[in-house]
Chain A
């Protein structure tokens, strides 16, 4: 695939990096990334993946833009309040980079549609806001053999991990075997979240996705990154593979997506 003069100019700051180069930029152009949630994390991640020239971006979100989203969901403008988030997101990404394809899915992911979505993409970014989606995505990506970049935020804290259980690394269940029961943790709306924290973690998800596509640098495939915005501290802890994991352990009990993913907790 040859780049046009305009593309060479657009991506010149990438192309001059020895770690990227023309070859790396072509990898990005051919890559297909699916972003789950066009919200706090999906917005900054989507903007940077689009700017970087990731050729196909999928946006999955069933919601419409609410005024209370705009404090952090920078894909959307005040004029988009009331519009579908994926359509508002598509317009913003297309305006930033008309060279790429943006596909939109105005629905919430569930066990009966997730594998259909994953089949069309190489890499998945989790920007969802609830545990049932997080566990479902973890399991589905394992079965579909897709790399998942998991980011999550709460008040002033963020977490980031790259999930490549299909390549022998730990999965999300190795890290947290079970979601919290209902009522033990409030959701973002009740708890509040520092808007810019979504930017920090979402942009880090984009960075890790781009590194995975390019195959460069250190990954977070066996580490968890924890960010405390109040104390301005980043910490990395080990994330071992659990041989007793019900999904990717030695005697798995989860072998398909027919289990119960409903967690009556909103966070």
Chain B
């Protein structure tokens, strides 16, 4: 089981939950599993070419997966995955 932290903009898809659990040995597998439980999540994270959107970061524990192996980054039991979109509010 991988713990996944969901940011507020995506919580409508997880019935308001800020933390959900999913299975998978890589980031891509976890996202696929998440999408089967919370349909629409994958579409919010991937662009039309199936690549991770450039204004959404995914961290495994404290590391940005763009600097690891992208969505093929391996996950092991106990890892925590966080989805962190860019936000711009300030006024």
Chain A residues with a Cβ under 8 A of chain B: 37, 39-42, 61, 63, 69, 73, 126-131, 134, 151-159, 175-180, 185, 187-188, 191, 193, 198, 224, 226, 228, 230-231, 235-240, 242, 267
**Which residues of chain B from 52 to 88 have any CB-CB distance to chain A below 8 Å in the complex?**
53-55, 57, 59, 62-64, 66-67, 82, 84-88
What residues on B are CB-neighbors of A156 within 8 Å? 8
Q: In the complex where A178-B55, A180-B55, A238-B64 touch, is A226 in contact with B84 (Cβ < 8 A)?
A: yes
In the bound complex, residues from chain A placing their C-beta under 8 Å from that of B50 are none
| Cross-chain contact B9 with A154 (CB below 8 angstroms) | yes
Which of A39, A155, A236 is packed against the most chain B CB atoms within 10 Å? A155
Query: When the two chains form their complex, are residues B82 and A235 in contact, meaning their CB atoms are under 8 A apart?
Result: yes
Judge whether A185 and B90 touch: CB under 8 Å.
no
Q: Does B49 contact A (CB under 8 A)?
A: no
**Residues in B lying within 8 Å of A, measured CB to CB:** 7-9, 18, 53-55, 57, 59, 62-64, 66-67, 82, 84-91
A157→B84 CA distance, assembly (Å)? 10
Q: Are B18 and A230 in contact (CB under 8 A)?
A: yes
* Neighbouring B residues of A128 by C-beta, 8 Å: 88, 90-91
Q: With A178-B55, A180-B86, A237-B84 in contact, is A73–B64 under 8 Å at CB?
A: no
18 residue pairs of the A-B complex, CB under 8 angstroms, read: A39-B90, A41-B91, A61-B91, A127-B91, A128-B88, A128-B91, A153-B90, A154-B87, A159-B87, A176-B54, A176-B55, A179-B55, A191-B89, A226-B82, A230-B8, A235-B62, A237-B62, A237-B82
Q: Is the CB of B89 within 8 A of A129?
A: yes
The chain B residue sitting closest to A131, CB to CB, is B88
A116 to B86, CA, bound (A): 28
Tally of A-B Cβ pairs under 8 angstroms: 108
- Whether A153 pairs with B89 at a CB distance below 8 angstroms is yes
Interface pair B8/A237, CB less than 8 Å apart: no
The chain A residue sitting closest to B53, CB to CB, is A180
- Give complex CA distance A243, B89 in Å: 28
In addition to A69-B91, A154-B8, 11 A-B residue pairs with Cβ atoms within 8 Å of each other are A40-B89, A129-B91, A151-B90, A157-B8, A175-B86, A180-B53, A185-B9, A188-B89, A198-B90, A228-B18, A237-B63
Contacts of B86 in A (CB 8 A): 131, 152, 175-176, 179-180
Contacts of B8 on A, CB cut-off 8 Å? 154-157, 230
Query: With the chains together, A156 CA to B18 CA distance in Å?
Result: 11
